[in-house]
Amino acid sequence: MTVRISPRLVVVFLAACVVGAFGGLFGVGGGILFVPLLVLGFGFGQHRAQGTTLVALVPPTGLLAFVNYARAGQVDWRVGLLLMPGVFLGGIAGARLALRLAPRPMRVLFAALVFLAGLFEVYASWLR
Amino acid sequence: MTAGVVEVLLLGLAAGLLVGLMGVGGGIIVVPLLVHVLGFAQHLAQGTSLFLLLPPIGLGALREYWKTGDVDLPAGIACAAGALAGGYGGSLVALWLPARHLKALFGIFLVAAAILLLRQVLARPDATGDPEPGGESGS
């Protein structure tokens, strides 16, 4: 397939730079930000946004951020390694479940996760 | 920090379910889990989360979405490139910043995004809304 560099792709790239900065700042991969970005900013359907976001997670996009944390000694290697197989297998099961859901409940479920994650961040930073 | 092996394996499985279900990277789930279930300090949790995300752990989930055609490859690659560049800058800032207020702002941002996402579906109760999985051809 040929990948044409359309203006839309450039805008997606620039938006992803900003999102990536947030990812590095909070130690998240950025997926929770990419899905709303694609849905609200670029009119993607919910499932397509989720599938596309998973592409962004295949290359080690957090590598440079990770190097900074590793240098600072802020990595628990054992726990990180132990988490990997579960996340991989759980991911397959979760994706199968997602693709059985109709778009509306999928969207509501995703919004609920983002909402709870947001509330949690506020609670953990200011109210505790 | 001596978390049990089984405990950590199960935590990974739970986080993975959400990764596939929501198409998110896992960090948003793994960091709170590490902090509040295993008692990690914030920076250690974030560094471990980034370590966890180095191998393509979402590849199995991606394959499922790929089968139904719910993937826009060029847009995904653009997101990946942006995340790589942005992540470097963000992590440098994070390591010297007392992130308390920024994290709360991040939380408020997430809540706002959730409301926008919900409003979009609730505003058109009779509309079909998003296409069914696999129902959308190339954009």
Tell me, what's the pLDDT at B138? 42
> What's the mean pLDDT when you consider all of chain B?
79
Instruction: Identify whether the C-beta of residue A1 lies closer than 8 Å to the C-beta of residue B75.
Output: no
> What's the mean pLDDT when you consider all of chain A?
84
Tell me, what's the pLDDT at B120? 78
Tell me, what's the pLDDT at B70? 92
CA angle A45, B32, A84 (to 5 degrees): 75
Tell me, what's the pLDDT at B109? 81
User: Per the structure block, which two tokens stand in for A1?
Assistant: 């397939």
Residues B6-13 have a mean pLDDT of: 86
Which is more confidently placed, A11 or A62? A11
Testing the interface with B: which of A2, A5, A8, A53 to mutate, by most B Cβ within 10 A?
Answer: A53
Q: Left if phi > 0, otherwise alpha if psi is -120 to 50, otherwise beta: which for A73?
A: left
Residues B33-42 have a mean pLDDT of: 84
**Residue from B22, B52, B79, B105 nearest A97 by CA:** B22
pLDDT digits (tens, 9 = 90+) for B16-25: 888 888 877 7
Calpha distance B31→B36 (Å, rounded): 9
SS (H, E, C) chain B: CCCCHHHHHHHHHHHHHHHHHHCCCCHHHHHHHHHHCCCCCHHHHHHHHHHHCCCCCCHHHHHHHHHCCCCCHHHHHHHHHHHHHHHHHHHHHHHHCCCHHHHHHHHHHHHHHHHHHHHHHHCCCCCCCCCCCCCCCCC
pLDDT digits (tens, 9 = 90+) for B86-126: 777 777 776 666 656 767 777 888 898 889 888 877 776 54
Total residues found in chain A within this entry: 128
Residues A32-58 have a mean pLDDT of: 87
Range scoring the smallest mean pLDDT among A62-76, A92-106, B69-83, B114-128? B114-128
Task: Work out how many CB contacts closer than 8 A connect A with B.
Answer: 497
Tell me, what's the pLDDT at A20? 76
Total residues found in chain B within this entry: 139
Nearest-Cα distance to chain B for A49, in Å, is 7
Does position B46 have pLDDT exceeding 70, yes or no? Answer: yes
Contacts of A121 (CB under 8 A, 6+ apart): B103, B104, B106, B107, B110
Q: Does ipTM come in above 0.95?
A: no
**In chain A, % of residues over pLDDT 70:** 90
Tell me, what's the pLDDT at B131? 67
Residues A47-52 have a mean pLDDT of: 90
CB proximity under 8 Å: B 104-123 to A: 104, 106-118, 120-121
Residues B31-43 have a mean pLDDT of: 84
Nearest-Cα distance to chain A for B139, in Å, is 9
CB atoms within 10 A of CB B2: 7
Does position B139 have pLDDT exceeding 50, yes or no? Answer: no
Tell me, what's the pLDDT at B65? 92
Q: Chain A partners of B8 at a C-beta cutoff of 8 Å?
A: 79, 82-83
Determine the 3-state secondary structure of A100 from DSSP.
Answer: helix
Q: pTM for this one?
A: 0.80
Burial (Cβ within 10 Å: 0-12, 13-18, ≥19) of residue B31:
buried
